[in-house]
């Protein structure tokens, strides 16, 4: 079955098209609601069996599949293998109660972009979707500018240990602000970063100053005709 869900657009960029695969109809509905609440994502279909998942993936060509492993007809990793064998370019986030090491290893071998254990709340999924979107913004161009771009994209794909960040900064927002810096033409103000990421100007400035402190950004003052000079941040 398919759903006609839509999400708010972000900066005019096409929404990420999501296929949800879960055997439980109510759980699939909840996950649909979570995805729909997240800016830049839209649900294009739901499947409740492995065979339906493969069929819909072929028909709908989603960008991202949220894949449960415990399906009534097949194990989810077998479905993932079929998606890869069919040459489908969709990314996959596994969403499951499966904690077995072999399941996690198998998912990693097959190239999943994330692995989320049930039960979870909206914020848990939103963090992963935001991280996924940040990585794709970094790699949206025709070519990367160097090793630093590749390293940043790979860092966004994995959770940055919170222990290495100053108190009050989250690894997910670090990734989003870093992506905003990378996408900026020239320099970026705290207000512009706040609008891009969806946080307050004060918070955006804290994250930007963090990048200045670790040496991945620099700040310059832009003087206007009146008032305080504006602090402008640029990736280095």
Domain layout of the chain by residue ranges: 16-120, 143-235
In the chain, % helix, strand, coil (3-state, to 5) comes to 45, 20, 35
Positive or negative, the Cα torsion across 23, 27, 32, 38? negative
Per-residue confidence (pLDDT) for residue 152, from 0 to 100: 62
Tokens of 226: 């009146």
> Strand 230-235 relative to strand 217-222: parallel, antiparallel, unpaired?
antiparallel
- What tens digit of pLDDT does each residue of 51-103 get? 999 999 999 999 999 999 999 999 999 999 999 998 998 999 999 988 887 88
Mean pLDDT of the chain: 83
- What tens digit of pLDDT does each residue of 99-146 get? 887 888 888 888 898 888 888 899 889 988 988 887 777 666 656 666
Q: What is the CATH number of domain 143-235?
A: 1.10.10.10
Domain 16-120 shares a fold with domain 143-235 = no
Q: What is the pTM of this model?
A: 0.62
- What tens digit of pLDDT does each residue of 189-214 get? 999 999 988 889 999 999 999 888 87
Query: Is the domain covering 16-120 a CATH 3.40.50.2300 domain?
Result: yes
Q: How many CB atoms lie within 10 A of CB 147?
A: 8
């Amino acid at each position: 079955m398919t759903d006609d869900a839509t999400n708010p657009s972000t900066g005019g960029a096409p929404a990420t098209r999501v296929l949800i695969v879960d055997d439980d109809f109510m759980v699939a509905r909840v996950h649909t609601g979570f995805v729909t609440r997240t800016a830049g994502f839209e649900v294009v279909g739901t499947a409740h069996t492995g065979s339906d998942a493969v069929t819909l993936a072929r028909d709908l060509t989603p960008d991202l599949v949220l894949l449960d492993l415990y399906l009534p007809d097949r194990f989810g990793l077998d479905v993932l293998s079929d998606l890869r064998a069919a040459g489908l370019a969709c990314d996959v986030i596994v969403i499951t109660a499966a904690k077995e090491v072999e399941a996690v290893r198998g998912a990693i071998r097959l190239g999943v972009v994330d692995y989320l254990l049930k039960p979870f709340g909206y914020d848990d999924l939103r963090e992963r979707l935001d991280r996924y979107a940040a990585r794709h913004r970094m790699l949206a161009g025709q070519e990367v500018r160097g090793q630093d771009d590749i390293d940043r994209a790979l860092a966004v794909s994995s959770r940055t240990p919170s222990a290495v960040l100053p108190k009050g900064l989250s690894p997910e927002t670090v990734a989003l602000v870093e992506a905003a810096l990378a996408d900026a033409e020239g320099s970026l103000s705290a207000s512009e970063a706040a609008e891009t990421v969806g946080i307050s100007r004060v918070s955006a400035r804290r994250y930007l100053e963090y990048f200045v402190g670790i040496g991945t950004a620099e700040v310059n003052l832009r003087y206007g005709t009146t008032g305080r000079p504006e602090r402008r941040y640029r990736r280095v």
